[in-house]
Amino acid sequence: MELIATPKPLNALAANGSAVEHIKDRSNYLRGNLVEDFHNPITAAISEDNVQLVKFHGSYMQDDRDVRLHRQDKKLEPAYSFMIRLRVAGGDLSADQWVKLDDISNRYGNGTSRITTRQALQFHGIIKFDLKNTIKAMDAALLDSIAGCGDVNRNVMCTPDPTLSNLHAQVFPWAQKISEHLLPRSRAYHEIWLDEAEGKTLVAGGEAEEIEPLYGKHYLPRKFKIAIAISPFNDMDIYANDIGLIAVEENSKLLGFNVAVGGGLGFTFGREDTYARLASEIGFCTPEQVLDVCFHTVAIQRDYGNRADRKLSRFKYTIDRQGLDWFKQELNARLGFDLGEVRPFVFDTTGDRFGWRSTTDGLWHLGLRLEYGRVLDNETHRLKSALRSIAEQNLCGFRMTGNQNLILTGVREEHIDAVESILQAHGYAADASHLSGLRRNSIACVALNTCPQAMAEAERYLPDLITKLEVSLDKHGLRNEEIKIRMTGCPNGCGRSVLGEIGLIGKSPGRYNLYLGASFNGDRLNALCRENLDEAGLLKVLDELFAAFTAKRIEGEPLGEFVTRCRYVRHPATKGK
């Protein structure tokens, strides 16, 4: 389908556009002077303008915060390096790609890779002078990092588990189609990193339409996220997205998608006008209509989003400022048809399934629990080497989940033993049943030492905190209870803490705000329970909560429902859904 060329002039708020708007404006469609800056031998960093632009190419400049003060004392510049995030719609990689990506992490990265909460894979610790080689190596694996970060539509997610329903094979390609449809068209990435010759064809007066038919010269006011789920599994946390699509079937045939809009989890401490919001269900569209629905929704945000204050520029604020009814009318007008009524569906869970399961074609799929998506070898196991060996023998495909886990897909029955024995030989259990329910359902964002926004630890601390909480769980007979806990180093929301039955958001080193009461199926946010707790405080409050839960819960009641029923927290007025 052709993109419809309708970029409008910058919206009214752009007269006083934020600094990033001006950087985009003078960037010549995301080129800036990235080429020169990445060759500059004087520093391991790049300029502030280019820090913003390189995000659109999938990379963040970071510095090692563990050594920041030490280097400052020694009058050295911070230990700069780059994180790069692949675009992998639906999280699907072949065995050959896995091997090539493993090579990249060894050769250019810090020897690990990380599966993100949006089904992408990212590498840390790449030095400036290796970024181009990294991107070239990704290209050789038929992968790119375009729109990995930046003010554009990001990695499109899709329920990855092929064992869930026959619908899966019909739905999955739509994630790829939407991703391609909404991809920036600028050739900047190919010119800068892949040495494609500069070859712009400008039409007088029509520059923006020619180069970026959807985004125009200023791209979006802020990032944009889309996910597709197949009920009853909300493993994509679709209400956390700017657009959430829920596949609807009839007799195992894909009828279309319920459409939800305006989700977004990040907020800023001390800014009461910022908040987490769950997406609102607005209607239904057929598969043939879904690309247009996504395109025009993005275009409305392009035209009406706030470009003055980046803290208020996500689509959720546009929807609340303009009104949901206004949005529906605007969307229908641009589409030239009205969305249908939302079709009935249910969501049971946001969790992943672990262990072996089969599909009707006789193939087997192994859900593997990873600790916060980190693919590495350490003193307890050698997961990275195990996965490489499995990939080298071409025993399966690789699907990343939205909960930082991995599914080894399409294993032939005669290869099950081989996969199991490779994992075993590397000290990794194929099955997660030995882990507590709390650990199985835990998510942590990266936070320290690489994330510049982090105020407290997350990935490096949550495993230890859970070990301490397991003492409490054992005491109250809750070891196997499925409880969803999520920790982030700041309120930006990368680990979806505000959708945890227990949510922990970093305030300062060693201190967290405790949030309770999100639903297990992801359709209700949690609410603030206690502020600024240290570890002793957290363990005490949660031990008391677990005791009360065991004593007073209704049979089968999940923790999030118990907390809500017993009014441990007062949920804020419902935004969105």
Q: What are the residue numbers of the active site?
A: 85, 154, 223, 225, 445, 451, 490, 494
Q: If 0-12 CB within 10 Å is exposed, 13-18 middle and 19+ buried, where does residue 90 land? A: buried
Least Cβ distance, residue 237 to ligand SF4 (angstroms): 14
Give CA–CA dist 154/182, Å, rounded. 9
Please give the order of strands across the beta sheet that includes 374-375.
59-63, 80-85, 121-126, 113-115, 374-375
Per the DSSP assignment, residues forming a β-bridge with 264 are: 277
Q: If 0-12 CB within 10 Å is exposed, 13-18 middle and 19+ buried, where does residue 470 land? A: middle
Which is nearest to 50 in space by CA: 67, 71, 28, 72?
28
* Residue 171 touches which member of ligand HEM, ligand SF4, none, C-beta under 5-8 Å by kind: none
Q: Which is nearer to ligand HEM, 109 or 517 (CB)?
A: 109
342 and 49 Cβ atoms separated by less than 8 Å: no
Both tokens assigned to 103:
């090579």
Least Cβ distance, residue 469 to ligand SF4 (angstroms): 20
Give CA–CA dist 61/55, Å, rounded. 8
**By the rule CB under 6 A, 110 interacts with ligand HEM:** no
Contacts 24+ apart (CB under 8 A), 435-439: 435/369, 436/466, 436/470, 436/473, 436/479, 436/480, 437/473, 437/478, 437/479, 437/480, 437/481, 437/482, 437/483, 438/466, 438/469, 438/470, 438/473, 438/478, 438/481, 438/483, 438/485, 439/463, 439/466, 439/470
53 and 34 Cβ atoms separated by less than 8 Å: yes
Q: Which is nearer to ligand SF4, 233 or 267 (CB)?
A: 267
Q: Which is nearer to ligand SF4, 260 or 490 (CB)?
A: 490
Residue type, 54: V
Q: Which is nearer to ligand SF4, 296 or 314 (CB)?
A: 314
* Residue 366 touches which member of ligand HEM, ligand SF4, none, C-beta under 5-8 Å by kind: none
Least Cβ distance, residue 377 to ligand HEM (angstroms): 20
**By the rule CB under 6 A, 240 interacts with ligand HEM:** yes
Both tokens assigned to 36:
């020169």
Residues near ligand SF4 (CB under 6 A): 445-447, 451, 453-454, 458, 488-490, 492-495
Least Cβ distance, residue 255 to ligand SF4 (angstroms): 36
* Residue 118 touches which member of ligand HEM, ligand SF4, none, C-beta under 5-8 Å by kind: ligand HEM
Least Cβ distance, residue 193 to ligand SF4 (angstroms): 24
Of all helices (H) and strands (E), which one includes residue 507? Answer: strand 502-508
* Residue 490 touches which member of ligand HEM, ligand SF4, none, C-beta under 5-8 Å by kind: ligand SF4
Give CA–CA dist 387/407, Å, rounded. 11
Pairing of strands 226-230, 157-158: parallel
* Residue 11 touches which member of ligand HEM, ligand SF4, none, C-beta under 5-8 Å by kind: none
Q: Which is nearer to ligand HEM, 243 or 265 (CB)?
A: 265
* Residue 496 touches which member of ligand SF4, ligand HEM, none, C-beta under 5-8 Å by kind: ligand HEM
Least Cβ distance, residue 445 to ligand SF4 (angstroms): 3
* Residue 359 touches which member of ligand HEM, ligand SF4, none, C-beta under 5-8 Å by kind: none
80 and 45 Cβ atoms separated by less than 8 Å: yes
Q: Which residue is nearest to ligand HEM (CB)?
A: 494
Within 487-506, which residues bind ligand HEM (CB under 6 A)?
Answer: 492-496
Least Cβ distance, residue 442 to ligand HEM (angstroms): 12
Q: Which is nearer to ligand SF4, 9 or 452 (CB)?
A: 452
Exactly one of 451, 478, 502, 504 binds ligand HEM (CB under 6 A); which one? 451
Where along the sequence are the contacts to ligand HEM (CB under 6 A)? 60, 62, 83, 116-118, 240, 265-266, 373, 445-446, 450-453, 492-496
